[in-house]
């Protein structure tokens, strides 16, 4: 079979050997595209891998568009930088890498000594490199500051958290001055932790090759050759590669070091208990009146919303969303988006192709809301709303990007915008949220109101379905047996709603 006929996976299964194209590279004086393999035959599975590599290194227009969108939603977002640093601290700890190892790794990375050269040689960074101009103008001052902080001074849990916070702040303080270096700094954040892991594994007696492999795998090697995964992340599942790599890493950490999960559970439990000791409140009431997106637990057994030891100026308890600070935290989070079935966040559809579907269907996938109101919006209003939706969907969400979600949030708070009870929004909380520290108050009274309305709306829908089924039975559209099945399902749903209502009222 010729290579041209074997471009798709289903045709590859029909042949054992594939003929490699005998083509030359344009404007190369006859250099063969496939070198010594040109015109020869290779096994089908080998050609598949070669073809995948060729596609990866020769992106077309669509790949360039997708890459820019992904960069806007990751490397150019301050929130993602914060999440990346904190989750890497957890991944580092899961691999038994200490803060003083991170300190030594930063020193080695800064000096480009023999350890750094060996780590690069053996693939700890998987061939990535930092542009020398970025390194000189941006990376140098940042690493100098991190080195001065001497992060190996305090290895306690509190010291580790403070060091991680200082590191995230220091990195981001340099990033915000040089937006063009943000994508490089996203690599730096991972490479610093890989360097720390490499140093730790050397201390434990690993060879340089094994230490580099461990460093690469622990911090998610995105060099993926699986054809179906690559096809998915190039279309409507742009972040499926994170799920593909994160699940095995987390699973191995749990298997080999289960006490780490117990440690984080204990720390979260103590922090939550201290918060209620310093700022008393009814935890059961506060949590059961939260929205569905805020309720539930992370995979390590901690609440998604961690209680803070203070109230806001209106006496409301304050919570911090820690889901994205836990490695693979959103992989097991089913309370995101508006898909027909609950799916983890990284498996939800997204990317430029999804924007086309949203536009055609006039509905935002994440919120489930219409982009424009076809009943009431004028043509100019619909055009303005569509442009606003497209702009926000494409651009990085950052407080310094005009018109982005966090830009609007901060400016609304600073302009005196108020909540449903007329209380002003908090500017500090809006600013913290824009850099990934999602601290927000929870009004228990409003929680009761909104949850009750939601349950009442669900009850009306179930009763409406029953009235429609009764009408269909009387007109002979459905049989008595079908009607009884519908009635039985409706009764089960109503029992569930009643149980939720009793739970909301604290009577369960």
Segment 318-332, tens digit of pLDDT: 999 988 888 876 655
Check: pTM over 0.75? Answer yes or no: no
For 32-49, how does the pLDDT look when each residue is reduced to its tens digit (9 = 90+)? 777 777 777 877 777 777
Tell me the CA distances in angstroms from 372 to 134, 340, 387, 402, one per residue in order.
43, 21, 11, 22
Both tokens assigned to 231 = 């096809």
pLDDT at position 507 over 80: no
For 142-172, how does the pLDDT look when each residue is reduced to its tens digit (9 = 90+)? 555 555 555 555 555 555 656 666 666 565 5
CA 183, CA 189: separation in Å to the nearest integer? 10
User: What's the domain range around 154?
Assistant: 69-223
CA 327, CA 181: separation in Å to the nearest integer? 25
Say whether both 36 and 161 belong to one domain.
no
Phi, psi of 112 (to 5 degrees): 55, 50
* Buried b / exposed e along 25-44 (16+ C-beta atoms within 10 A): eeeeeeebebeebeeeebeb
CA 265, CA 301: separation in Å to the nearest integer? 6
Give the lowest-confidence range in 259-273, 306-320, 337-351. Answer: 337-351
pLDDT at position 120 over 80: yes
Give the lowest-confidence range in 321-330, 430-439, 448-457. Answer: 321-330
pLDDT at position 360 over 60: yes
> Percent of the chain at pLDDT above 70?
76
The answer to the question of residue 399 being in a domain is no
Last-in-domain residue among 207, 223, 239: 223
Say whether both 166 and 104 belong to one domain.
yes
Question: What one-character DSSP code corresponds to residue 390?
Answer: H
Say whether both 41 and 184 belong to one domain.
no
CA 434, CA 416: separation in Å to the nearest integer? 18
Position 8 scores a pLDDT of: 47
Say whether both 158 and 12 belong to one domain.
no
Rounded mean pLDDT, 199-228: 83
Last-in-domain residue among 191, 223, 255: 223
Position 13 scores a pLDDT of: 47
Say whether both 168 and 53 belong to one domain.
no
Question: What one-character DSSP code corresponds to residue 424?
Answer: B
Tell me the CA distances in angstroms from 15 to 9, 12, 23, 183, one per residue in order.
11, 6, 22, 42
CA 318, CA 312: separation in Å to the nearest integer? 7
CA 216, CA 193: separation in Å to the nearest integer? 10
**Would you place residue 316 in the very low, low, confident or very high pLDDT band (cuts 50, 70, 90)?**
very high
Task: Name the domain count of the chain.
Answer: 3
Position 57 scores a pLDDT of: 56
């Amino acid at each position: 079979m010729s290579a041209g006929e074997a471009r798709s996976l289903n045709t590859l299964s029909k042949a054992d050997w594939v003929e490699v194209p005998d083509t030359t590279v344009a404007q190369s004086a006859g250099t063969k595209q496939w070198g010594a393999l040109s015109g020869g035959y290779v096994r089908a599975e080998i050609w598949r891998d070669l073809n995948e590599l060729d596609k990866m290194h020769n992106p077309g227009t669509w790949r360039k568009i997708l890459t820019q969108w992904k960069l806007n939603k990751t490397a150019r977002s301050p929130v993602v930088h914060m999440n990346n640093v904190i989750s890497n601290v957890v991944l580092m700890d899961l691999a038994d890498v200490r803060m003083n190892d991170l300190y030594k790794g930063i020193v080695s990375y800064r000096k480009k000594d023999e350890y750094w050269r060996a780590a690069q040689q053996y693939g700890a960074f998987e061939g990535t490199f930092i542009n020398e101009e970025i390194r000189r103008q941006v990376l140098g001052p940042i690493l100098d500051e991190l080195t001065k902080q001497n992060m190996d001074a305090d290895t306690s849990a509190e010291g580790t958290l403070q060091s991680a916070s200082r590191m995230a702040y220091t990195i981001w303080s340099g990033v915000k001055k040089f937006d063009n270096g943000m994508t490089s700094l996203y690599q730096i954040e991972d490479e610093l932790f890989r360097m720390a892991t490499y140093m730790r594994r050397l201390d434990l007696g690993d060879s340089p090759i094994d230490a580099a492999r461990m460093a690469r795998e622990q911090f998610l090697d995105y060099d993926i050759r699986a054809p179906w995964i690559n096809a998915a992340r190039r279309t409507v599942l742009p972040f499926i590669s994170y799920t593909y790599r994160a699940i095995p890493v987390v699973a191995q950490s749990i298997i080999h070091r289960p006490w780490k999960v117990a440690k984080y559970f204990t720390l979260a439990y103590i922090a939550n208990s201290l918060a209620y000791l310093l700022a008393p409140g009814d935890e059961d009431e506060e949590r059961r009146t939260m929205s569905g997106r805020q309720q539930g637990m992370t995979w390590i057994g901690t609440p998604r919303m961690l209680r803070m030891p203070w109230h806001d100026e209106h006496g409301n308890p304050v919570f911090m969303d820690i889901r994205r600070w836990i490695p693979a935290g959103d992989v097991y989070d089913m309370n995101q988006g508006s898909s027909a079935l609950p799916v983890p966040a990284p498996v939800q559809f997204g990317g430029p192709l999804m924007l086309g579907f949203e536009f055609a269907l006039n509905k935002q996938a994440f919120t489930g809301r219409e982009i424009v109101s076809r009943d009431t919006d004028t043509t100019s209003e619909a055009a303005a709303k569509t442009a606003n939706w497209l702009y926000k969907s494409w651009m990085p969400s950052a407080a310094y990007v005009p018109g982005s979600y966090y830009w609007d949030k901060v400016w609304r708070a600073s302009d005196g915008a108020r909540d449903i009870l007329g209380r002003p929004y908090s500017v500090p909380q809006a600013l913290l949220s824009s850099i990934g520290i999602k601290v927000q108050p929870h009004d228990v009274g409003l929680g009761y109101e909104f949850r009750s309305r939601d349950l009442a709306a669900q009850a009306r829908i179930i009763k409406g379905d029953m009235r429609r089924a009764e009408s269909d039975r009387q007109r002979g559209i459905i049989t008595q047996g079908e009607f009884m099945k519908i009635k039985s399902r409706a009764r089960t749903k109503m029992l569930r709603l009643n149980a939720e209502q009793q739970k909301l009222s604290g009577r369960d």
